[in-house]
Amino acid sequence: MANIDHPLLVVRSITNAMRGQKILEQNGIPAYVQRNTLPSSKQGCGYALKITGSVEKAVNLLAAADIKVTEIQGG
């Protein structure tokens, strides 16, 4: 099983992941786009934002930009 040392915020598309990365970084939350390949994922192989910082703040920022987080892994 994969070890998660930073939370992953799973989103539906690469476009949302890239938009989300930009929004989070503009608000002081480091974020990296990656394929979501964890076997525990309910969403299959989507995309995720690996973040450092407050999960709650990140989710709220993404929601304000109409980017839905479908799953939160780790953190």
pLDDT in tens, 58-69: 999 999 999 999
Q: Give, in degrees to the nearest 5, the angle at Cα 51 between 5 and 8.
A: 65
The boundaries of the domain holding residue 57 are 11-36+45-67
Which stretch of 8-12, 23-27, 71-75 has the lowest confidence by average pLDDT? 71-75
Residue 16 domain flag = yes
Percent of the chain with pLDDT strictly greater than 90: 72
Full-model pTM: 0.83
Separation of alpha carbons 34 and 18, rounded Å:
10
Query: Looking at the 3D structure of the chain, how many domains does it have?
Result: 1
Residue 41 has pLDDT above 90, yes or no: no
Residue 50 domain flag = yes
| pLDDT band at residue 33 under the 50/70/90 scheme | very high
Separation of alpha carbons 41 and 48, rounded Å:
11
